Structure 1
């Protein structure tokens, strides 16, 4: 494959807003205002080919909305998203998605062999018949399953095995870019490690590029090359994985890392927050994190921080910058 066709996702100031206004009657008669949910509000990052860029953050910060924009399920409200060869979502770079719940993402009425064969046949990657069935058996072996599993239904498998089937289905389309949206959150801890190791092995063997979305910091540290910390629709800190975990700069990044259990120091003092994540429909003025930040100043409460480069990191924070 020509190196110029290899994917490097470049995202510039991308946003995705949803109109959640009251009904026409409520607006016209009761004078209720229009309301906008800013699920993603100005993200910029680049993912070099063959690497993994992870997005972490609390539930509701916009991670899954970003994933759906990358695969084309949602249209961006503004901003640009393209691959290195100049192709966008409708270009030649093949993208596939691995979903959070493997049971919900697999058709319960289809046998596993048919599920994996569907993208092969639909995209015309192999001739129907023996050639497609050989490819299905090869994919099952690639993800650690037996060719006998092709004749079984999804409910006959464990959660980890179902996620392997989901990965095989994604690989059936011969993708160059995979979006992994919380791929291990529904699995037991021991099974999570198996799936993460499988994803890393596939990346080396097939030269895949990953956008890995998770709230599991241990998983993120295991698989990613660079991490973006997302808060209320924006990336507040972005850095190489080792730098971010060893030298976090943003107060929110430090807060997230403090939530990770430490068996060597279980009674350590932790950064606490008694305030829930604000609503993206009505975000606080200034820095969105200021109501939960012990270091917030008047500047933080009035001015939105710009993204600044500090060493190998990018930060949105008045104090950290």
Structure 2
């Protein structure tokens, strides 16, 4: 396999478990056992170079934990991440992250020019102050801002403009892999489209690879090549974007898609959900989706399904092979 054919990232059996804090009474007097949240519970995936791999799911499913592990902000409990060779130090694919809240992720005491120039200086990517400043101004132009904005502070910009600054700061490190953790969730709808189009243009120009984390299914359909659906720490379905949106197999995927407003078919059938999302502290036995699934059988309630392959799709569901759920 040539360098270009190697996946940018291969995640193998990744887990991330958190111990919940206990009170002194529970720990010493009552002797209660410690509890654990399996935020991510044994997931695997590959991301080819130059593509966008998206992870979707309800809040608390573990998708942002995956993003933090990929960039090294959170250590996995188990499993491995293998990055392809790249231009970065020690030949590793250089990775950067675009955070959900563009205001909280920018230093309010620094001018925009300093925020963008910092990774250039720290990584030694330019020779001298003048070259660094020229590079910084070029990045501002790349994301749709101007050189005059370098002297302003983050609070002087709108939400969409702050996210453009965040993108420019990420690009300053000359990454080949970008982790986008819900980069449009804090923005107005019209601004969301501008940021998504900017990310698409940058991918085409620079050959970037994206891990895109979102609960916005419309945005995911617009930007993705392949989509993974997470539920209570596990990937329950993974497939090319067209398969996920046009021919879903897993009941949870169909439930998510039915929740998206459709102007052409406002009266279409919706997938019923009997109960709320189970607690990640004590997930149900068997398939974790079984309390909410209209197709759940006795097998689903007692035995967790293994991953199976149906064409280009990977799925965890006992009922997937019996009938299409579209």
Q: TM-score, normalized by length of structure 2? A: 0.94
Matched, 1:118 2:118: yes
Q: Partner residue of 1:169?
A: 169
SS of structure 2 residue aligned to 1:10:
strand
Q: TM-score, normalized by length of structure 1? A: 0.96
Q: Call closer, same or farther: CA 1:144–1:266 in 2, change over 3 Å.
A: same
Q: Where do residues 30-109 of structure 1 align in structure 2 (5 Å cutoff)?
A: 30-85=30-85, 92-109=92-109
Contact 2:84 2:93 in 1 (8 A): no
Q: Could you list the per-position Cα deviations for residues 230-285 of structure 1 after superposition, in whole angstroms to 9, with x for gaps in the alignment?
A: 00000000000011100000000000000010111212221122422111111110
Q: Partner residue of 1:153?
A: 153
Contact 1:43 1:234 in 2 (8 A): yes
What 5-or-longer segments of structure 2 have no aligned partner?
322-326
Contact 1:71 1:89 in 2 (8 A): no
Distance between the aligned counterparts of 1:62 and 1:113, measured in 2? 34
Q: Partner residue of 1:281?
A: 281
Matched, 1:232 2:229: no
SS of structure 2 residue aligned to 1:53:
strand
Q: Partner residue of 1:142?
A: 142
SS of structure 2 residue aligned to 1:277:
coil
Number of residue pairs matched by the alignment = 320
Distance between the aligned counterparts of 2:197 and 2:184, measured in 1? 11
SS of structure 2 residue aligned to 1:26:
helix
SS of structure 1 residue aligned to 2:291:
helix
Distance between the aligned counterparts of 2:90 and 2:52, measured in 1? 22
SS of structure 2 residue aligned to 1:290:
coil
Question: Which is further off, 87-96 or 291-300?
Answer: 87-96
Distance between the aligned counterparts of 2:254 and 2:74, measured in 1? 31
Distance between the aligned counterparts of 1:11 and 1:153, measured in 2? 38
CA RMSD of aligned residues (A): 1.9
Contact 2:87 2:94 in 1 (8 A): no
Distance between the aligned counterparts of 2:171 and 2:289, measured in 1? 39
Q: What's the CA shift for 1:45?
A: 0.4
Q: Partner residue of 1:244?
A: 244
Matched, 1:311 2:311: yes
Contact 2:6 2:48 in 1 (8 A): no
Q: Partner residue of 1:219?
A: 219
